């Protein structure tokens, strides 16, 4: 692992207590950033992560907020800035997956998924745009499935395709402030979210899809995000980086 230099930076990671978000919080803290770990219900996991980061010499704060509520997003940023003084990096990692055939999807399914994956990402980006200084970084989580045809993923794929487009537009809007906006599109990553509802046979099938012949790990994505959060990625913006092990 090549360590990036994030000393003096402050990062907010939505959905930071679990899965990819948790790995991102650990990686950015290891690289010197102070991290705000956002959670909705997993207080114990968030607090345990804060302790682990602090025990390793880092700085972290766990804050509860439901990203489907713009008011709670605003309070998340306000409390993070009160504690650390600023926000330099936003990683929108909060997300859910609902996979059903279109005839089985309900309006409640649609509203819930878009509220987390799209509305949450949009209003977190809006709040970041209001309070971030020049040279900040916004990194959204998309999905490789936007380039594939996968049954039962209609609303999930649609929500993430919208995240890709928001990323491109915001990169142009915020470019005059030298704020970069990018998305990372993982393939199949071995998380609780990925395994939910899948049989061992389906998981093994997914593991054989990448050219590299394995499921992705959360650190595979955290490393890409750490790069995009660093000054080394200053000339990359408006992009969706497909970190998927070679899935075609």
Where in the sequence numbering do the catalytic residues fall?
156
DSSP 3-state assignment of 122? helix
What are the start-end ranges of the E strands in 15-156? 34-39, 59-64, 89-92, 137-141
213: left (phi over 0), alpha (psi -120 to 50) or beta: left
Task: Enter the tokens of residue 83.
Answer: 């504690």
- Which residues lie below 8 Å from residue 79, measured CB to CB, with a gap of 6+? 63
Under 8 Å between Cβ of 14 and 25: no
Give the torsion through C-alpha atoms of 217, 219, 220, 222, to 10 deg. Answer: 130
Question: Would you tell me how many other CB atoms lie within 10 Å of the CB of residue 8?
Answer: 10
Under 8 Å between Cβ of 16 and 225: no
How far is C-alpha 203 from the geometric centre of its chain's CA atoms?
22
């Amino acid at each position: 692992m090549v360590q990036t230099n994030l000393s003096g930076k402050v990062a907010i990671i939505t959905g930071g207590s679990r899965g990819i978000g948790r790995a991102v919080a650990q990686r950015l803290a290891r690289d010197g950033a102070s991290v705000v770990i956002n959670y909705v219900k997993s207080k114990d996991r968030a607090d345990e992560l804060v302790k682990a980061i602090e025990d390793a010499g880092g700085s972290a704060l766990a804050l509860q907020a439901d990203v489907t509520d713009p008011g709670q997003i605003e309070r998340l940023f306000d409390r993070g800035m009160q504690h650390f003084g600023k926000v330099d990096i936003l990683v929108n990692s909060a997300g859910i997956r609902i996979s059903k055939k279109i005839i089985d999807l309900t309006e409640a399914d649609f509203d819930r998924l878009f509220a987390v994956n799209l509305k949450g990402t949009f209003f977190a980006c809006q709040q970041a745009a209001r309070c971030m200084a020049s040279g900040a970084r916004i990194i959204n989580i998309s999905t490789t499935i936007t380039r594939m045809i996968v049954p039962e993923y209609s609303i999930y794929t649609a929500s993430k395709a919208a995240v890709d487009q928001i990323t491109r537009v915001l990169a142009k809007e915020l470019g005059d402030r030298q704020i970069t906006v990018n998305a990372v599109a993982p393939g199949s990553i071995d998380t609780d979210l990925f395994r939910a509802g899948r049989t061992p046979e389906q998981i093994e099938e997914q593991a054989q899809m990448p050219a590299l012949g394995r499921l992705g790990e959360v650190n595979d994505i955290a490393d890409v995000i750490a790069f995009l959060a660093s000054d080394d990625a200053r000339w990359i913006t408006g992009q969706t980086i497909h970190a998927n092990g070679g899935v075609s």
